[in-house]
Amino acid sequence: MTLGPVASLILEGEDLETNFSHDETVSIDLNLKVYDETLTGQILVSDRPAGLADVVPVARSLSDEIARRTIEYAKSTGRNIPCKKGCAACCRYLVPVSAPEVFRIWDEIQVIKPEHQRNVLSAFVSASQRILDAGPPPVPQGRGASGEDPQDATDAINRWYAEIGVDCPLLERETCTAYSFRPIACREHMVTSSAEHCLPAKGKQVKLTEPPFSIVEALGRLAAEAENLDIESVMLPFAPSWRQINHERARRTWPAPVLFECFVAIIHDLSARRRLAAA
């Protein structure tokens, strides 16, 4: 298990600072449309083997930058985003986690203090048990003969999960105990309605922001393409058990520059598709 940096995100105007030798670094350009602006920068990648988990820190940094720009854009269009550190109003919703994030979060749980680690793992077990006790979620049908919209099916699963009322296992006394390594879905979830509307009982009144593209979706696609599998998404409470089952996958490596080039290509593709759909 390595938690040292394999890559750094350097946004335009920032100093070049990496924790690895520049002699062994590959630079990958970023040029992304984010609302009315262009996000430019580079990802500097160490030329060594890397696993899917190694992409996650850069993905988080990028997600945080997009979140910052989303808040600015909302303000410029007269809307307010009340989401902030310390608000846990949405922490009983279903949090989908990509395979690279599961691998990374598991590694990060391994290095927290043993006593806290025991509590965290026990909270994951309790939350998983509550979900299993609630029975299976509604099965998505997709748009088929019934004419059901896939988004309706996703909404049905989200409603099912919210009705179970299971606390996120990383939530303690209404505070996220893993704020620095919280899933990207949590970073991308921003509302323009009042925080009290986020409580599951009032979920229908929530107004969500529309991100320019989804980094959690990009990570899901990266894992699928690297491993030649379908895109997977894990409910956060099942992350530790899913990681145990997929132990060998977590250890697999690729040349880091190849992995990051693929990640950046996927983000550019998602961004272009979103712009095309909006045009």
The site for ligand SF4 (CB under 6 A) is made up of 88, 91, 95, 168, 170-171, 176, 178, 182-183, 186
Tell me the residue type at 226: A
Looking at the Cβ atoms of 32 and 198, the one nearer to ligand SF4 is 198
Q: For 91-182, where are the alpha helices, taking DSSP H only?
A: 99-110, 114-133, 150-164
Note the maximum CA span of the chain.
Answer: 58
Quick one: DSSP state of residue 196? G
Contact predicate 134/165, CB 8 Å: no
Looking at the Cβ atoms of 42 and 70, the one nearer to ligand SF4 is 70
Match 């909270």 to its residue by tokens: 123
Cα radius of gyration rounded to whole Å, the chain? 19
Q: How far is the CB of 89 from ligand SF4 (least distance, A)?
A: 9
Which helix (H) or strand (E) covers residue 225, if one does? helix 215-227
Q: How far is the CB of 145 from ligand SF4 (least distance, A)?
A: 36
Looking at the Cβ atoms of 112 and 258, the one nearer to ligand SF4 is 112
110-117: long-range pairs with CB below 8 Å, 24+:
110/1, 111/3, 116/177
**57: Cβ contacts below 8 Å, ≥ 6 apart:** 5, 7, 104
Exposure string for 25-58, b = 16+ CB within 10 A, e = fewer: bbebebebebbeeebebbbbbbeeebbbbbbbbb
Looking at the Cβ atoms of 177 and 193, the one nearer to ligand SF4 is 177
Looking at the Cβ atoms of 88 and 134, the one nearer to ligand SF4 is 88
Looking at the Cβ atoms of 181 and 260, the one nearer to ligand SF4 is 181
CB atoms within 10 A of CB 239: 24
Q: How far is the CB of 181 from ligand SF4 (least distance, A)?
A: 8
Looking at the Cβ atoms of 119 and 141, the one nearer to ligand SF4 is 119
Q: How far is the CB of 278 from ligand SF4 (least distance, A)?
A: 28
Tokens representing 116 are 């806290």
Q: How far is the CB of 10 from ligand SF4 (least distance, A)?
A: 27
Q: How far is the CB of 6 from ligand SF4 (least distance, A)?
A: 23
Q: How far is the CB of 88 from ligand SF4 (least distance, A)?
A: 6
